Chain A
Amino acid sequence: MINLENPKKFRGLVDQAHQVAKEIFRPNSRKYDLAEHEYPKELDILGALLDGMHASGAGEGAGAAGVRRDSVEDQGNRNSSNLSTALGTMELCWGDVGFLLTMPRQGLGNSAIASVANDEQLKRFAGRWAAMAITEPHCGSDSAAIRCSATKDGDHYVLNGDKIFVTSGDRADLVVVWATLDRNIGRAAVKSFVVEKGTPGLELVRLEHKLGIRASDTVQFALRDCRVHKDNLLGDPEINVEKGFAGVMQTFDNTRPLVAAMGVGLARACLEETRKTLEQAGIVIDYNRPAMVQSAAAAQFMAMEADYEAARLLTMQAAWMADNRKPNSLQASMAKAKAGRSCVDIALKCVELCGSIGYGEGELLEKWARDSKILDIFEGTQQIQLLIIARRLLGKTSAELK
């Protein structure tokens, strides 16, 4: 039966995530926005708490552990870990996107491991914090153009190349590095390798200074003859041209809705703050009367809320489809595209509606507006999402629709 409300069974989890966002994230938001690169030690207790929750099975939805697609028999409509993780992510990012990105042991690398690692690897990497290194100085969205090379040498692979924009690269214990076995083959030759911090040849070059999400560290790595054991390769070691990119891309089908959820959470924070500020200024928002007979601020607020709702429901749709084993690549990209652009649009308009209060550092709105921009960029830019969507709708290959 059609129903688009948050399932009751996740209410406890959502409340819990909201408390974390409200009591731990928000009070520390400004502090670490100003003190970029300083480790938010307040998150350590939280990390321990999350580990406990995962161990007890109660932690569904609190972070990166929940995106694995288990093979379970079909039993009608399912609301499970993809949806709960999306809802948890929304709540936490209502608090602070930067903190979510730097939650101990909740990195994108952890998502990759949780999604594609074998059982032995899952056990060996349990409890470790894993970052993800994909982007290179000359290639961003075009991950098939990766130059970082992996050369087989006995039981090891030797990695050589440069990686930039690695989230939590400084703080993580492991780095999942994308490298190619053969640059001439393209996507199918790209594999991911788990590299332990401290491995000779893995060098942290620098920490970036950023527009937003400053609580989260972003680093550049150089890999120079870095030897990694073959057991650290995630997925199929063979180059399978037919299956191609599927292995590495599988991670993204599961994580795009989560990045969309980050945008949804941030947008809600902006809308709630703006509503409060406007109402204090005497602006009335009436859902019965037409927008045209209300103030311009009220009309704009409702238009933003409509976009927010569309982003939120598209995100829930994509996560729900993953829970129900329905192919969701199209819906995941639609959610990411809509949430990415809407959260930037909403945040910047909210700053305008609140005037100097919105623009000043006295409130968090200006910070959220800065934080929001990355959400329309990482895990596939707006333009890449539109390409994916268009190719699927129009039935085009990447050679036809470039």
Chain B
Amino acid sequence: MTVTQNLMGLGLKVLNRLGGAKALDDPKLRKTATAVLKTGAATGFRLIGTVNRQFKSVRGPNKALRPGAASTDLFDLTPSDEQQMMRDTLAGFAAEQLRPNAQAADTACATPKAILQAAAELGIGSMQVHEELGGVGGAERSVVTNAIIAEALAQGDLGMAVACLAPVGVAAALAEWGTAQQQSTYLSSFIDEKAPVAAIAVLEPRPLFDPFKLSTSARRTDAGGYVLSGEKSLVPMAASAELFLVAASTTHGPQLFIVESGAKGIHITAEPAMGLRAAATARVRFDNVQLNASALLGGGEGDFSYENFIARSRLAWCALAVGTSQAAQDYLVTYCNERIAFGEPISHRQAVAFNISNIAIETDGMRLLTWRAAALAAAGKPFVREAALARRLCADKGTQIGADAVQLLGGHGFVKEHPVERWYRDLRAVGIMEGGLLL
């Protein structure tokens, strides 16, 4: 494809959305944001089961539409034109909308609706949806593009990035593994600003959690459906979600189930944590929730791979760690150059400067490992080992970078006047989270 074709395709659609996004109007957004935060704090969490949309199968292709493989024979670190454009657009969004509102969202344990809507209008959901279903994606698997998107958003704020990306992960999973019916029922609704809030639920509340040994189970019923039982932890956006993708053990190993939040037997309680607070994390308990046979993602046939699903989910957290580590690095460069001690900037001391060098080295390494695994996934090649190594590096170094960032600011790093204490809390999540998101 030529540059022009690229720009004419996805590019123009995204630009068009950006131009028309009402929520980017700054004073308005701030007003809405304040309103949402106030309501959110007042009402708190609710037991779900009321105001839900009816997901209806729209007329669509009778065969599931799978994204194509994207690959090349040369080593290349240059993003495509459309990836670069998404990156620039979202970097602007992250700097102007996420960063200034991050502390308020962290305190309120909620991301303003206007921000979620603005993110959707930028096309991050539509990109997962095939053109035949009304989206702007589908030609190529968007794992690398999603990594670039996640990194850009997390440079603004990790918690709000999780809130924005939770539905994107569900959409990407439906695109990759959903049946034709699941795609026409659910995937087609992710294309505009009215996209449903949705989240992936894998993690369970116990030490040494292993996503390959789930307590949550889906038992087959005589009628051919399933009964879902179990408890999921730190599910982003759970209270407002209309749709869950739930990992549960079956007689055929772990599988994913599409669960509408209106189903009977779903109990949601707020589970605020050390970080990720803007993502409104919650416990979700499934008490004998009755599901139709059609709830099984991929319908039990085809190419669903739980290993690949878990690996792509881990990669989302890696990409977020890269973005927030980069934010920390940039913040430290400015701070350490401006902070004077003993008559000169503290950046003139090797003990300070070398710490920043190491943060830069590890952040770059984290990005390269994440990209490598994402590119392999996009090309349809094995990537489980590469994703595992990316996760190891991002969890270890990301956490260290969060700690170093606070340390370099000293007492100023410990107070909420600066964002680094939040980055410290958010980066700790990377090695803990399973599910929640997906690239």
Contact = CB atoms under 8 A, between A and B. Distances in A.
B12 interface: no
A233 B429 CA distance: 57
Contact of A3 (B71, B307, B361, B392): B71
Interface residues of B, number: 58
A389 interface: yes
Contacts of A3: 71-76, 375, 379
Interface stretch (A120-128, A305-313, A363-371): A305-313
B210 A334 contact: no
Most buried by B among A6, A289, A313, A400: A313
Contact of B365 (A7, A310, A391): A310
B337 A302 contact: no
A288 B212 contact: yes
Interface of B: 70-80, 83, 144, 208-212, 307, 310-311, 329, 333, 336-337, 344, 347-348, 350, 353-354, 356-358, 360-362, 364-366, 368-369, 371-372, 374-376, 379, 384-390, 392-393, 396
12 contacts: A2-B79, A2-B375, A79-B74, A79-B75, A287-B387, A288-B212, A290-B211, A310-B369, A314-B361, A338-B365, A386-B353, A390-B350
Contact of A2 (B76, B354, B361): B76
B361 A389 contact: yes
Given A310-B362, A338-B361, A386 B75 contact: no
A313 B364 CA distance: 9
Interface in A351-402: 383, 385-387, 389-391, 393-396, 400-402
B365 A313 contact: yes
Contacts of B311: 288
Contact of B376 (A5, A305, A337): A5
B348 A401 contact: yes
Nearest to A391: B353
A390 B75 contact: no
Cβ-closest 3 pairs across A and B:
A310-B365, A390-B353, A313-B368
Given A83-B75, A306-B369, 7 more contacts: A5-B376, A288-B311, A293-B208, A314-B364, A317-B77, A383-B354, A389-B361
Given A303-B392, A394-B347, A395-B337, A310 B368 contact: yes
Interface string A64-104: 00000000000001010001000000000000000000000
A239 interface: no
A40 B307 CA distance: 49
Contacts of A6: 75
A8 B385 CA distance: 21
B77 A4 contact: yes
Nearest to A303: B392
A310 B76 contact: no
A9 interface: yes
Contacts of B310: 288
Give chain A's interface secondary structure class: helix
A305 B391 CA distance: 12
A79 B74 CA distance: 7
Contacts of A314: 361, 364-365, 368
Given A320-B77, A387-B350, A4 B385 contact: no
A291 interface: yes
A1 interface: yes
Contacts of B387: 287
The interface centre, meaning the residue of B211, B360, B375, B390 with most chain A CB atoms within 10 A of its CB, is B360
Interface string A132-171: 0000000000000000000000000000000000000000
Given A2-B78, A310-B368, A293 B353 contact: no
Contacts of B80: 1-2
Nearest to A324: B78
Contacts of A320: 75-77
A293 B392 contact: no
Interface centre among B211, B337, B354 (most CB of A within 10 A): B354
B361 A288 contact: no
Contact of A289 (B76, B79, B212): B212
Nearest to B372: A4
- Most chain A CB atoms below 10 A, which of B77, B333, B390: B77
Contacts of B307: 288
Contacts of B354: 383, 386-387, 390
Given A288-B388, A394-B336, A334 B364 contact: yes
A290 B356 contact: no
Nearest to B70: A1
Contacts of A293: 208, 210
A338 B77 CA distance: 19
Given A4-B77, A305-B389, A394 B209 contact: no
Given A79-B74, A289-B210, A309 B389 contact: yes
Contacts of B360: 334, 389, 393
A176 interface: no
